Amino acid sequence: MKMRYATALYHITFLWIPLLAWLAPAVSAEVEPQQYILSAPPRETPDKGRETYAPIAAKLSDLLGVKVVYEAPAGWADYSQKMRKNKYDIVFDGPHFTAWRVKHLNHTPIAALPGQIGFYLITKKNTNIKSTRSLVGKRICGIVSPNLGTSLVYEFFPNPLLQPILHEVSGGMKEVYSSFTNGACVAAILRNTSYRQLPKSERLKIRILKKTRPLPNQTLTISHRLKEQTHKLADFLVSKEGAVAAQNLLSRYSKKARYFQQTKTADYAGIERLLEGVVWGW
């Protein structure tokens, strides 16, 4: 009986070892992706998003030899959920999201809009609002977090019991400023470039209460799945050909300097804290 059992075990082992050896390479080898996903925050309609990002996706497809598709998120909840699950391979958004992905998802920044990004907390000169302390409990106009401007301005109010009330505005800086001038709030969070674009007559009516710290501009990052293509992608995006491919994006976000500039991971160190463990974070 023992001999029969040992003989059977020998034959089973003899048959399975070659089969396992044949399967091992297939199991251990990393599957080549059939496509990569490019995405960005839901700041525009899906049609506008495709108009902005599809040309970039097409050029990157040619560059990589693997199809790159633009995926428009259904909303902020969808965008943040898919980002957290590391569904995106190429992402364009603010430096706080960039820093979060670098820290938590092993993303790599490969190109950024030129210059830095900053915001002003403004009020009207003909009011008695003289400092941030005067804003506690009062309405300020801004875009709901995780908007970068809102997150940066709320750094001025670290005590959650001593904060202004955010009057949430849908849209962009034009809508924020319109709500402010129409009396919806006593102060507003405005991009510094938007402030400088106001007519001088408008700027003369405004007091700048605080300026946020400057951060790297909006950035493109890639996931670890594209690590080996880092230099190829970065070199392309900062080239003239890359600027042509991204002209719809650059014309929207970089009015004067329509190109991407080189960037590095170290520039984003610590910025992820804007999204972590704070009331107006993510």
Burial of 253 (0-12, 13-18, 19+ CB in 10 A): middle
Q: Do residues 256 and 278 make contact, with C-beta atoms less than 8 angstroms apart?
A: no
Helix, strand or coil for residue 73? Answer: coil
Q: Given this model, what pLDDT does residue 105 score?
A: 97
Average pLDDT of the segment spanning 74-84: 93
Gap between the Cα atoms of 35 and 214, Å rounded: 36
The CATH number of the structural domain formed by 35-115+216-274 is 3.40.190.10
- Residue indicated by tokens 């980002």: 83
Q: Which CATH superfamily is domain 119-213 in?
A: Periplasmic binding protein-like II (3.40.190.10)
The region, left, alpha or beta by phi > 0 then psi within -120 to 50, assigned to residue 213 is beta
* Tens digits of residue pLDDT in 90-142: 999 999 999 999 999 999 999 999 999 999 999 999 899 999 999 999 999 99
Gap between the Cα atoms of 203 and 196, Å rounded: 8
For residue 6, name the pLDDT band (cuts at 50, 70, 90): very low
Helix, strand or coil for residue 184? Answer: coil
Range from 53-57, 193-197, 237-241, 253-257 carrying the lowest mean pLDDT: 253-257
Gap between the Cα atoms of 213 and 71, Å rounded: 32
How many CB atoms within 10 Å of residue 11? 10
* Tens digits of residue pLDDT in 10-33: 343 433 434 333 334 443 344 556
Q: Given this model, what pLDDT does residue 39 score?
A: 98
Q: Write down the mean pLDDT value for the chain.
A: 88
Gap between the Cα atoms of 172 and 185, Å rounded: 16
Burial of 194 (0-12, 13-18, 19+ CB in 10 A): middle
Gap between the Cα atoms of 50 and 57, Å rounded: 10
